Chains A and B, each alone.
Chain A
Amino acid sequence: MTDMAPTTAPTTAPSAETALDLPPPRRSPALALLRRGLRHGGLVAGGVILLLIVGLALAAPLVAPHDPYAQELSRRMVPPIWQAKGNWDYLLGTDKLGRDYLSRLLYGARISLLIGAVTVLISGVIGTTLGVCAGYFGGRVDAVLSYIVTTRLALPVVLVALASAALVGSSLQGVIIVLGLLLWDRFAVVTRSATQQIAGSDYIAAAKAIGCSTPRLILTEVLPNILNPLIVVATLEMAHAILLEAALSFLGLGVQPPLPSWGLMIAEGKQYMFFSPWVIAIPATALVFLVLAINLVGDGLRDVTAPENRN
């Protein structure tokens, strides 16, 4: 074990004169990953936008200039400041009930992020359980899983989500449950193939040989080794969930008023879009930026954690 020392010692760059005759120092894998990540333009751009949106959402009570639910009927449909009749009290204008648009937008980010995160948590647990079992056990278990996934894919997702949301009652919780129970398919597909790839490796065989129980083997050997692809799917599925929530709320069967969901804001603004397009342009832009940022982070993480899978 004494020859372990040189591999762990120098993590900082060597000085110029020693660099010539010494082999390049080994960096810790985490540091190397971070370096690669910071050099990836898309990941950095997406990460910055995403952090900004998350920060604003968390700080909404502090930064929002008004109460997002307070109606001021004498100040309805005030345009945003870049338009002729703009008002500095309402940077992004007000909606048809005189509620401050900027404040609603900030609180709306909380709803989108909450729905994205909790949905991914539910669907991730379902999909990963199914996928890891199918990939690890193979054979008949695998056949049953691919059958379940095929059936799930055959269901028209928007339609079934709408119908189920109507059945459980359209609400924030309802949308989260419905989407969580519907969007696990990609988790299952990705974790299945990732588990298949590592199922034959030596460390799994070694763990088996020392008498590791199957649940423990899956938790301590399989899961940590499929974490990278899992995080990538979770990111991309979060964007998917946010888009679907916006669509459901837009169709009136998702989050209900007076909650400031971005999809709902677009639906409420639809009747004014001919004369005041900003009413839908503002929440739509916010939605596009959030989804774009999440997708950039997801794509970037895939490139950085698995460079061999690029393209």
Chain B
Amino acid sequence: MLAFTLRRLVVAFSVALTVSVIAFVLLHLSGDLATSIAGAEASPAQVAEVRHQYGLDRPLTVQYLDWLWRALHLDFGNSFYFRDSVVSLIATRMPVTLTLGAISLAISLIIAVPLGVLAAVFRGTIIDRLALTFCVLGQAIPTFCLGLGLIIIFAVNLRWLPVSGTAGWQNYVLPSVALGWYAVPAVMRLSRNGMLEVLSADYIRTARAKGLSPAAVVLKHALRNAIIPVVALAAVQFGFMLGGSIVVEAVFSMHGVGHLAWEAIARNDFPVVQAVVLILAAIYITLTFLADVINALLDPRMRVA
């Protein structure tokens, strides 16, 4: 188990390092930084001055290591556009995105897991077919179309929920459904398949043979084992949701990290973009690492991989 954890840790660290190189290159491909910092009206002499002050005349590897060292201390420099440090910009907007991601994940699990279990228990019946059809249909609806559709139905016509913003819990309902929807088919398929596999196992036959009620068999014996792979997938999906929240935040005008990154990209404010890419990737890498370890703890057969 220790060897497995260490191996995964090494992979996670090297992936994070590679992502940091990509994020660094992204910044340097975006144009001459000294000109961006000095502003469009600066004279060549001023630009040269800025270049020297910010250390942009040093070799790229030195600049990368320096940037990485600061990034590890959560210093991502200053935004070109917002006149604020990148870290404080992200810190003030992270809660919105994290809340959105957490509620979305909860919604998708609440919909997908029972649906998958039902489909497996009633395999081959109309319930199973309906659940699978729902998945195929669900997968075809783009997140932003779903978001706009929810706004038209629930905010404009029924007036139950607000159109946009982040003022109260009501503001999170529609965006979370739109974002969580995306993960439903994958989670549902996995819980259905996991359940099918478990239901044909010997210990389930034993549980049935000793006269347990069908509900007890499914909920107490089968679900606990079928849910293990779903834990890993949920972690991965949470990472995807943080990345995908950019679209939902744009649709619902929520000022989270995704919206920040969107504004920053449109304004060529690459220190912000770079930091968001790096932080979201770091969260994803941490989550998948934890999911792998938890999975291996729960299921020793996984430790070989």
Contact = CB atoms under 8 A, between A and B. Distances in A.
- Chain A binding surface, main DSSP class: helix
Interface in A251-301: 251-253, 263, 266, 270, 273-274, 277, 280-281, 284, 287-289, 291-292, 295-296, 299
B142 A246 contact: yes
Interface string B119-147: 00000000000000000110111111100
Contacts of B145: 266, 280, 284, 287-288
Contacts of B186: none
Given A162-B262, A252-B266, A274-B156, A266 B148 contact: yes
A155 B136 CA distance: 26
Contact of A159 (B30, B246, B268): B246
Contacts of B30: 167
Interface in A135-168: 147, 150-151, 153-160, 162-164, 166-167
A269 B199 CA distance: 49
A121 interface: no
Nearest to A160: B277
A292 B262 contact: no
Contacts of B262: 162, 251
A246 B143 CA distance: 10
Given A163-B26, A252-B266, A284-B149, A247 B142 contact: yes
Given A270-B148, A311-B193, A159 B261 contact: yes
Contacts of A288: 140-142, 145
Given A159-B261, A166-B266, A150 B15 contact: yes
A159 B18 contact: no
Size range of the interface on A? 35 or more
Interface stretch (B71-79, B210-218, B225-233, B280-288): B280-288
B265 A292 contact: no
Given A156-B242, A266-B144, A288-B145, A273 B151 contact: yes
Contacts of A251: 246-247, 250, 262
Contact of A295 (B22, B26, B139): B139
Question: Which residue, A42, A167, A263, A281, has most C-beta atoms of chain B within 10 A?
Answer: A167
A107 interface: no
Given A157-B243, A159-B276, A287-B142, A147 B148 contact: no
Which of A151, A166, A299 counts the most chain B CB atoms within 10 A?
A: A151
Contacts of A295: 136, 139-140
A151 B22 CA distance: 10
Interface residues of B, number: 49
A173 B120 CA distance: 44
A253 B273 CA distance: 14
A184 interface: no
Contacts of B268: 166
B152 interface: yes
Interface in B221-266: 240, 242-244, 246-247, 250, 258, 261-262, 265-266
B19 interface: yes
Contacts of A157: 243
A250 interface: yes
A292 B137 CA distance: 7
B247 A154 contact: no
A174 to B, nearest CB: 13
A243 interface: yes
Contact of A167 (B26, B143, B193, B258): B26
Contact of B280 (A156, A270, A291): A156
Interface string A29-61: 000000000000010000000000000000000
Given A159-B273, A247-B142, 19 more contacts: A147-B15, A151-B18, A151-B22, A153-B284, A154-B281, A154-B288, A155-B277, A156-B242, A158-B243, A159-B246, A163-B261, A239-B140, A250-B250, A251-B246, A273-B152, A277-B152, A284-B142, A284-B149, A311-B196
Interface of B: 11, 14-16, 18-19, 22, 26, 29-30, 136-137, 139-145, 148-149, 151-152, 156, 192-193, 196, 240, 242-244, 246-247, 250, 258, 261-262, 265-266, 268, 270, 273, 276-277, 280-281, 284-285, 288
